[in-house]
């Protein structure tokens, strides 16, 4: 399951030597055969050049197309610009942020929807995926068939999921209203069109995909749990529920962390499905969709769009930093 277990413990462990520790770690001889380790470090000039290209090219791509634009986003959020001529960029101080928070009607609904989206994924979709994984981890007949069925939506893009559920939710031709017996009557609900219900309908569609993904990750996690732990718990008289919550679930800590991070990031990245439905308007406002609404179309307000992008960035950094500390903090301490 984990690569960490296979690695020999690093010989030198002070956090300051982080970079050195990782490289030394893959080398079993680092502690035992110092002579050999020294030989590895010696690189010819040609090797150094090759390495510089191997590191330099991907790093350049990453800096140019990911991190530089991120910095530009921050810079543009303090300016006023219509996106046409570079000379027209005017400093605007914090005006864009003030406008977004005070005078931009869809902003607070969008914040609420993002929080609701996160809560729905965290409280319904993720536990559902965990439940499916636990049930399917038992040796029951047809487990693989069930797994394949629950897993199918994970392969689909959220955009395609929006189209498929639109066919299901449609007021006049969708299956749901036929099943509810309201099709063709005035009580028929337009599930993606009615601003009172469409966020819930969209979250159900997103759950369809998220639960399958969580199930898959937990199935791998459950398999990594040492079976002797369960046996020890059952010898101690724990029932199935106690065994799960007190022994198995805590033992899956690495998977739990990944799932927490994925759930938060997925809820911040939710964009495709609302954009497919109605471009993120009329009850489906999300921060990510507002960013794009301000960037494309005729009334380009790059400054306002960038301010929204920076707000999205700052919120995203919370789970990202948490994940990085969990992953790489352990690496340097090991």
Partner 1 sequence: MSTLANPIPSTAGAAAVSRNSGKRHYGTHIFLTVMAVMWLIPLGWSLYTALRPKADTDKYGYFSFGGSFSFDNFIQAWTQGGFSKYLLNSLLITAPAVLLTLFFASMMAFAVSRVNWKFNITLLIMFTAGNLLPPQVLAAPLFEMFKHLSLPYSFSDSGNLLNTYISVIAVDTAFQIGFCTFVLSNYMKALSSDLTEAALVDGAGIWRQYWNIILPLCRPALAALGTLEVIFIYNDFFWPLLFIQSGDRLPITTAINNLQGQFLSNYNLIAAGAMITLIPTLIIYLALQRQFVAGLTLGSSKG
> What's the min distance (Å) between Cβ of 119 and partner 1?
18
Would you say 172 or 194 has its CB closer to partner 1?
Answer: 172
HSE-CB for 301 with a 13 A CA cutoff: 17
Min dist. Cβ of residue 93 to partner 1 (A): 19
Q: Within positions 49 to 78, which residues make up the interface with partner 1, using CB under 8 A?
A: 50-51, 54-55, 57-59, 61-62, 64-70, 72-73, 76
Does position 258 interact with partner 1 (CB under 8 A)? The reply is yes
Among 7, 101, 244, 282, binds partner 1 (CB under 8 A): 7
- What is the total count of residues that contact partner 1 (CB under 8 A)? 134
* Nearest distance, CB of residue 12 and partner 1, angstroms: 12
Interacting residues with partner 1 between 228 and 257 (CB under 8 A): 230-231, 254-255, 257
Residues contacting residue 192 through CB under 8 Å, at least 6 positions apart: 165, 166, 169, 170, 198, 201, 202, 277, 278
Residues 133-192 that bind partner 1 (CB under 8 A): 135-141, 143-160, 163-168, 170, 173-175, 178, 183
Site for partner 1 in 269-308 (CB under 8 A): 269, 271-272, 275-276, 287-288, 291-292, 295-296, 302, 305-306
Taking the complex as a whole, the smallest distance from the CB of residue 98 to partner 1 amounts, in Å, to 19
Residue of 32, 187, 223, 246 that binds partner 1 (CB under 8 A): 223
Beta bridge partners of 134: none
Cβ closer to partner 1: 195 or 316? 316
Q: Applying CB under 8 A, does 208 fall inside the site for partner 1?
A: yes
């Amino acid at each position: 399951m984990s690569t960490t277990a296979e690695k020999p413990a690093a010989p030198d462990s002070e956090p300051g030597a982080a970079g050195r520790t990782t490289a030394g770690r893959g080398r079993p001889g680092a502690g035992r055969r110092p002579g050999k380790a020294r030989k590895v470090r010696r690189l010819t000039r040609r090797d150094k050049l090759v390495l510089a290209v191997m590191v330099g090219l991907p790093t350049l791509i990453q800096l140019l197309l990911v991190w530089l634009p991120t910095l530009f986003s921050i810079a543009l959020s303090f300016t006023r610009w219509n996106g046409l001529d570079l000379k027209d960029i005017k400093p605007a101080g914090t005006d864009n942020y003030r406008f977004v928070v005070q005078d931009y009607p869809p902003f607070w609904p969008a914040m609420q929807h993002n929080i609701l989206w996160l809560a729905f994924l965290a409280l319904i979709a993720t536990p559902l995926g965990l439940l499916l994984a636990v049930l399917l981890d038992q040796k029951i007949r047809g487990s693989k068939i069930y797994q394949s069925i629950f897993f199918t939506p994970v392969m689909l893009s959220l955009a395609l999921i929006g189209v498929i559920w639109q066919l299901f939710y449609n007021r006049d031709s969708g299956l749901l209203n036929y099943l509810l017996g309201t099709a063709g009557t005035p009580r028929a609900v337009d599930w993606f069109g009615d601003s009172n219900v469409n966020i819930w309908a969209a979250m159900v569609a997103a759950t369809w995909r998220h639960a399958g993904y969580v199930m898959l990750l937990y199935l791998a996690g459950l398999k990594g749990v040492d079976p002797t732990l369960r046996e020890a718990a059952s010898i101690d008289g724990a029932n199935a529920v106690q065994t799960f919550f007190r022994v198995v679930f805590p033992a899956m800590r690495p998977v739990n962390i990944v799932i927490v991070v994925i759930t938060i990031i997925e809820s911040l990245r939710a964009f495709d499905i609302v954009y497919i439905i109605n471009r993120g308007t009329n009850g489906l406002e999300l921060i990510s969709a507002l960013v794009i609404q301000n960037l494309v179309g005729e009334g380009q307000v790059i400054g306002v769009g960038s301010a929204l992008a920076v707000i999205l960035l700052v919120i995203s950094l919370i789970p990202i930093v948490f994940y990085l500390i969990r992953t790489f903090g352990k690496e340097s301490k090991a």
